[in-house]
């Protein structure tokens, strides 16, 4: 049975299960409601960004005049360019490091047996239950202490924020890769070892290519963790190293209570900030769907 046939059967089975759980009309109604919950706010943000600030303040849903002026102004009023560059640098390195280290760690946990292996696996699950808010003060104190005693400036730097994000992204990436690698056959590795391949050769020439969907999933989730974060980025950065989320939050807060809130510019800044994530999803959509559904069909 080919992979295409298995995917088609899986799709038909999923559709059949959905119709068995909900009647056809009710399923259609639920689908319409869920789509409306996403499309209506998104449509309003898009239309508001193409409107004028006065038009949005007056409550216009459909702009009386369409204009791209807000998209031009946000680069000087919101300091968005610096935030986008910082976010792309920090999140890209976090995604790459998390995917690489997560794959290597998962390979060791899945293919080797040693004392403490189960404890580490259980710890990976337990770390996911700790709210990040509780870790903000300890992380800040730790980074500040490193700056005072070691002479290393971590607070206010990009790489300090990178370490903080990697700390939270790595357990999830490792667990995703553990789940995926358990389904890979050992015969491929045994055949490579019989041909004289070392562990590193097997890891980078066999495991990584076969695990590409899961690697992409772990990398994208690590990227989103840093891209959407405001709490840690607000505390661990300075104006020169602030991320796009902090720049957008600061810009929106400074406009509240003004004589004329620049709502149109806020909407335009929000769309520009969300654009890289949408582009990232469109590029890796095939791998993302494959990685999320891997292991669900045997």
Average pLDDT score over residue span 257-282: 83
Cβ neighbors of 40 (< 8 A, separation 6 or more) are none
pLDDT in tens, 215-259: 988 899 999 999 999 989 988 888 888 999 998 888 877 766 555
Measured CA to CA in angstroms, residue 157 lies from 114, 163, 164 at distances of 38, 10, 11
Integer Cα distance of 242 and 100 in angstroms: 26
- Domain-by-domain residue ranges, the chain? 80-293
Integer Cα distance of 47 and 60 in angstroms: 9
Q: What is the pTM of this model?
A: 0.81
> Looking at the predicted structure, is the pLDDT value of residue 274 above 70?
yes
pLDDT in tens, 89-145: 999 999 999 999 999 999 999 888 888 888 888 888 787 778 878 888 888 888 888
The confidence score (pLDDT) of residue 21 equals: 65
**For the structural domain made of 80-293, what CATH number should be given?**
1.10.3720.10
The confidence score (pLDDT) of residue 18 equals: 47
């Amino acid at each position: 049975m080919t992979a295409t046939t298995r995917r088609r059967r899986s799709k038909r089975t999923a559709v059949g299960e959905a119709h068995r759980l909900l009647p056809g009309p009710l399923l259609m109604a639920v689908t319409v409601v869920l789509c409306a919950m996403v499309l209506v706010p998104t449509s309003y943000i898009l239309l508001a960004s193409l409107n004028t600030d006065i038009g949005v303040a007056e409550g216009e849903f459909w702009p009386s005049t369409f204009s791209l002026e807000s998209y031009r102004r946000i680069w000087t009023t919101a300091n968005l360019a610096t935030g986008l560059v910082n976010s792309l640098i920090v999140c890209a390195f976090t995604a790459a490091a998390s995917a690489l280290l997560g794959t290597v760690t998962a390979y060791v946990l899945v293919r080797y047996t040693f004392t403490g292996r189960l404890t580490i696996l259980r710890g990976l699950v337990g770390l996911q239950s700790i709210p990040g808010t509780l870790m903000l003060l300890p992380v800040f104190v730790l980074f500040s202490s490193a700056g005072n005693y070691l002479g290393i400036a971590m607070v206010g730097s990009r790489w300090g924020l990178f370490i903080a994000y990697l700390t939270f992204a790595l357990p999830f990436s490792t667990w995703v890769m553990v789940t995926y690698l358990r389904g890979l056959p050992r015969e491929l590795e045994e055949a490579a070892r019989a041909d004289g391949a070392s562990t590193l050769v097997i890891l980078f020439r066999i495991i990584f290519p076969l695990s590409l969907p899961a690697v992409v999933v772990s990398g994208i989730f690590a990227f989103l963790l840093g891209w959407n974060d405001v709490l840690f980025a607000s505390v661990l950065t300075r104006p020169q190293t602030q991320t796009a989320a902090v720049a957008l939050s600061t810009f929106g807060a400074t406009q509240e209570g003004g004589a004329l809130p620049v709502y149109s510019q806020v909407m335009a800044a929000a769309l520009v900030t969300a654009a890289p994530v949408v582009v990232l999803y469109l590029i890796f959509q095939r791998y993302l769907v494959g990685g999320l559904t891997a292991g669900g069909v045997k």
